[in-house]
Amino acid sequence: MKVGVALIPSPDTIESIIKLQQKIISICPLYPILYKTFNLPHLTLLQGRFDNSINWLTLILNLQDYWQRQQYSQKYKLIKLEYKSPGWYFLILQQQLIFLELHNFVFSALKNNLFVTEEDLNKDISLYDDLEKNNYIKYGYRYIGNAFYPHITLGQTIDKSRDPNQADWIHLVESFTAKHIIKLERITIYQVGEHGSHAKILYSVKI
pLDDT tens, position by position, 95-153: 889 999 999 999 999 999 999 999 999 999 999 999 999 999 999 999 999 999 999 99
Taking the domains of the chain in order of start, what are their residue ranges?
3-206
Q: What is the DSSP string of 82-99?
A: EEETTTEEEEEES-HHHH
pLDDT tier, 2 (very low <50, low <70, confident <90, very high otherwise): very high
Average pLDDT over residues 14-40: 97
Beta bridge partners of 8: 186
Say what the pTM is: 0.96
Instruction: Report the candidate in 173, 204, 170, 202 with the shortest Cα–Cα distance to residue 187.
Output: 204
Mean pLDDT of the chain: 97
The alpha carbons of the chain give a radius of gyration, in whole angstroms, of 16
Decide if domain 3-206 falls under CATH 3.90.1140.10. Answer: yes
As a whole number, mean pLDDT of residues 16-35 equals 97
What pLDDT sits at residue 95? Answer: 87
| pLDDT tops 90 at residue 38 | yes
Q: How much is the pLDDT for 77?
A: 95
Q: What pLDDT does 80 receive?
A: 94
pLDDT greater than 90 at residue 81 = yes
| d(C-alpha 134, C-alpha 147), whole Å | 10
What percentage of the chain carries pLDDT values higher than 90? 99
**Section 24-51 average pLDDT:** 97
Predicted pLDDT at 172: 97
- Helix axis angle, 11-25 to 170-179, nearest 10°: 160
